[in-house]
Chains A and B, each alone.
Chain A
């Protein structure tokens, strides 16, 4: 079984400042890692994914994440945030089980961007 820990429930930041949202995972097998964003009253939208290859992954809206196998982390970063980035962010891990990949999500981090 796998699990995900998002270390911060809420991250306040000023507009144009950099931000990092932290995610650690545990799994006994190789995993795939994802970050999703959820705007109010909406479903989940995929920001980026790590499947294999380069440990630095670039996603949509200027976000990027780095996979660190030794620290079992997959932190999300953006060099300069915008008001519109205010949303809930979920880290997820997925491993093969019974022929299917079923994502397990963290509890989420609320990113609040202040003007």
Chain B
């Protein structure tokens, strides 16, 4: 059983640029959620994807967008990067309708300069 893998592990971008982060789900999972974890904070829910459609969204602006592919992998895209976007971005996969069993990846550390 493969876990959740995220790429890249680290990334440095300049303010105003765009970034794409990638996530491969755990085998057998059909739902992907993205979280932003700022330094010293808990993870904040960005959005969730199920069947290639957004299935819930947290309090994040539209410049945060995502995709889910038929193999359940996912991308997080952030446009017009701001310094406050610097954070650890976590991807978690799960089965829709299941209250437990979220499996998290190790995250992508994004630094915006």
Write the residues of chain A forming the contact surface with B, with a CB cutoff of 8 angstroms. 4, 6, 32, 34, 36, 41-46, 49, 51, 90, 94, 96-108
- Most-contacted residue by chain B among A4, A36, A97, A103 (CB, 10 A): A103
**B45 with A102: CB separation less than 8 A:** yes
**B102 with A103: CB separation less than 8 A:** yes
**A43 with B100: CB separation less than 8 A:** no
Write the residues of chain B forming the contact surface with A, with a CB cutoff of 8 angstroms. 4, 31, 33, 35, 40-45, 48, 50, 55-56, 90, 92, 94, 96-100, 102, 104-107, 109
CB contacts (< 8 Å) of B96 on chain A: these are 99-100
Bound CA span A45–B96, Å: 19
Q: A43 and B106 in contact (CB under 8 A), knowing A100-B96, A106-B42, A108-B41?
A: yes
24 pairs, A vs B, C-beta closer than 8 Å? A6-B42, A32-B99, A32-B100, A41-B109, A42-B106, A42-B107, A43-B4, A43-B104, A43-B106, A45-B104, A46-B102, A98-B56, A99-B96, A100-B31, A100-B56, A100-B96, A100-B97, A101-B97, A101-B99, A102-B48, A103-B102, A105-B35, A105-B44, A108-B40
The one of B31, B35, B42, B105 that contacts A107, using a Cβ cutoff of 8 Å = B42
- Complex A-B, nearest 9 residue pairs according to Cβ-Cβ distance, in ascending order: A105-B42, A43-B104, A44-B104, A101-B99, A43-B106, A32-B99, A107-B42, A105-B43, A108-B42
Q: A41 and B106 in contact (CB under 8 A), knowing A51-B99, A99-B96, A100-B50?
A: yes
